[in-house]
Structure 1
Amino acid sequence: MVEPISQEQFAALKQSAVLSNGLRLAYVEMGDPDGVPILLLHGFTDSARSWSLAAPHLATGFRLVSPDLRGHGHSDKPEGCYTIPEMATDVRFLIETLDLAPSHVVGHSLGGRLAQAIAERWPHLVRKIVLISTSAVLRERRGWLWENIQKLRDPIDPECAFIREWCAGAIPVDENFLAHARRESAAVPSRIWHSIYYEQLAYDPSPLLQDISAPTLILRGEEDMIATEEHQAQMQEAIVGAERISLPSHGHNIHWEDPERVAGLVRTFLERPR
């Protein structure tokens, strides 16, 4: 029986490291200090807390490191820049600073785009990658997310309709966790919401997918309207040998909605001999 960790306990584990580029990243470390490292990368406007429900199911035998990406959580929030290559470079420096290489890299949504970029650019740092609810397509200047980001102004209300929907699950999620998640998403300055989305309007990750040599697992919920079935099929076709699993009735935040099951799928994939 895996013991869950409370949100207060998880927050108390937060540490920080100054990277070689001068940026300070906050992170949480759990599990076996001598285990194979797993780097857990959260999604857009989340934080390391995004993994608090799933991490206990991965901790045995692995060294888990969950950073707050630049602009998120307790990490530095510079004026710029928020491109995928720049944010991936932060993660590379964190891997080097904490002596994690080679590491498994598990990324959700934006974190999955960073996992792709790391595996493409620095394959020697990576064992396997898991791409959860992510894609490799250009963002668009239309749709629900684009329209709501345009309206954001500081201070952002964590209980406004947009933030409540942004942090919701297709199936019920622990409400205490969601309350923390909403507050942390709302605490991300609107300029960073805008910057990260704008940068991805011009960033096309698809041409580099063929450079990923690490074994890859693609996971999504069938009700996910952000990382669609079409997006997942395109990634699987482009990444040599990639495997794909879809969870019926689940949405974009599958590791919140069904943390034990998702962690189990991730663990099975990572523990399988390469």
Structure 2
Amino acid sequence: MRIEDVDGLRIATFGAGPRMIVAVHGITASLMAWAAVGRRMPDGWSLVAMDLRGRGHSAGLPGPYGLDRHAEDVLRVAEHVGAGPDAVLTGHSMGGYVAALAGARRKFARVVLIDGGLPLPLPPGMDPDEAMTASLGPALARLRQTFPSEEAYLDFFRAHPAFAGFWSAEVEEYVRYDLTGPPGALRSRAVPEAVAADGRWVLLGAARLGEALQAVEAPLHLLRAPRGLLNQDVGMLPDALTVPWLARLPGLKDEVVPDCNHYTILFDERCVATLAERLTSG
């Protein structure tokens, strides 16, 4: 893994091949969410991941936040690393929405959305603040919480429903990378204000995201997890949400990756092998 900074954005490159994948992480995540996939790049490929502003080692970059700003950052990184029109663009969770916006602005060989990217309509009768509390309340609470030690932070994630019963060295590396602060008061690197602003953008930007998806000229591939953020039986993108978009986007290829949840799709060895193959095939 090679690390560098681009205008304050921390980026990491896995592999050394000329064919490139530009990868975007989720709303409270970091570039290390892509490490397991990046380390399994076949010969001839490299994967470039970045810490979005307000996250990881890009946490010090100022706002305004929002998915348009992230899309601009992604395209700037793509230009910096020389990712041409034969590059693949991918994003997980919120990163899928950012990838849709960036993919609508310039040519990529393919755009691969991983358990994200399809607009999430507001529930009937619910205002954005209520929806934010329902969807991001626990995450925002974690970002404002402090922990007495690294081990306490690791224990917090070991007990998370998505990781309970599933733990690996790469999950632990991902969690440790997110940790900052003085001894006895450790916390996540993610900036709560950035997460809240981006979450609100997703909830209010459904129409914009739909327009972006329809404007993407590259082939679109959606990879879905059958289980959700808390390992519940209903995934983030259930059939009821996905099927209408398959009708609106006839070129969209839809695939469910078996036996994973919203997080383990990026860490489980079998799922990672599937993702690496889909990202580099075609």
TM-score by length of 2: 0.77
Task: Provide the residue aligned with 1:26 in structure 2.
Answer: 10
Tell me, yes or no, if the aligned pair for 1:173 and 1:256 is still in contact at 8 Å.
Answer: no
Gaps in structure 2 of 5+ consecutive residues:
123-127, 180-187, 229-234
RMSD of aligned Cα (Å)? 2.8
Tell me, yes or no, if the aligned pair for 1:105 and 1:130 is still in contact at 8 Å.
Answer: yes
Partners of 1:271 and 1:114 lie apart in 2 by: 22
Q: Structure 1 residues 77 and 170 mapped into 2: Cα distance closer, same or farther (>3 Å)?
A: same
Query: Counterpart amino acid of 2:193?
Result: R
2:99 corresponds to 1:115: yes
Task: Provide the residue aligned with 1:41 in structure 2.
Answer: 24
2:210 corresponds to 1:227: no
Partners of 1:65 and 1:129 lie apart in 2 by: 14
Displacement of 1:249 in angstroms is 2.6
Q: Structure 1 residues 113 and 38 mapped into 2: Cα distance closer, same or farther (>3 Å)?
A: same
Query: Counterpart amino acid of 1:228?
Result: P
Task: Provide the residue aligned with 1:145 in structure 2.
Answer: 135
Structure 2 matches for 1:135-174, cutoff 5 A? Answer: 135-138=118-121, 141-142=130-131, 144-149=134-139, 151=141, 154-157=144-147, 159=153, 168-169=162-163, 172-174=166-168
Name which of structure 1's ranges 200-209 and 216-225 shifts more when overlaid on structure 2: 200-209
2:115 corresponds to 1:133: yes
Displacement of 1:257 in angstroms is 4.0
TM-score by length of 1: 0.79
Displacement of 1:37 in angstroms is 0.9
Task: Provide the residue aligned with 2:215 in structure 1.
Answer: 211
Partners of 2:171 and 2:280 lie apart in 1 by: 28
Tell me, yes or no, if the aligned pair for 1:115 and 1:129 is still in contact at 8 Å.
Answer: yes
Tell me, yes or no, if the aligned pair for 1:212 and 1:240 is still in contact at 8 Å.
Answer: no
What is the CA deviation profile of residues 174-219 of structure 1, one whole-angstrom value per residue up to 9, with x for unaligned ones? 1x33334334172212222222222323211123322122111111
Task: Provide the residue aligned with 2:48 in structure 1.
Answer: 65
What is the CA deviation profile of residues 29-75 of structure 1, one whole-angstrom value per residue up to 9, with x for unaligned ones? 12224x21111111111111111112122242112211111111111
Task: Provide the residue aligned with 2:78 in structure 1.
Answer: 95
Name the % identity. Answer: 21
Query: Counterpart amino acid of 1:84?
Result: L
Task: Provide the residue aligned with 1:197 in structure 2.
Answer: 199
Pick one of 68, 72, 75 that aligns with 2:58. 75
Partners of 2:245 and 2:155 lie apart in 1 by: 32
Q: Structure 1 residues 234 and 100 mapped into 2: Cα distance closer, same or farther (>3 Å)?
A: same
Partners of 2:105 and 2:41 lie apart in 1 by: 26
Name which of structure 1's ranges 154-163 and 39-48 shifts more when overlaid on structure 2: 154-163
Partners of 2:247 and 2:165 lie apart in 1 by: 29
Task: Provide the residue aligned with 2:277 in structure 1.
Answer: 267
Displacement of 1:25 in angstroms is 0.9
Displacement of 1:266 in angstroms is 4.4
Tell me, yes or no, if the aligned pair for 1:128 and 1:270 is still in contact at 8 Å.
Answer: no
Tell me, yes or no, if the aligned pair for 2:37 and 2:266 is still in contact at 8 Å.
Answer: yes
Displacement of 1:264 in angstroms is 3.3
Partners of 1:189 and 1:221 lie apart in 2 by: 27
2:57 match: secondary structure: coil
Q: Structure 1 residues 229 and 259 mapped into 2: Cα distance closer, same or farther (>3 Å)?
A: farther
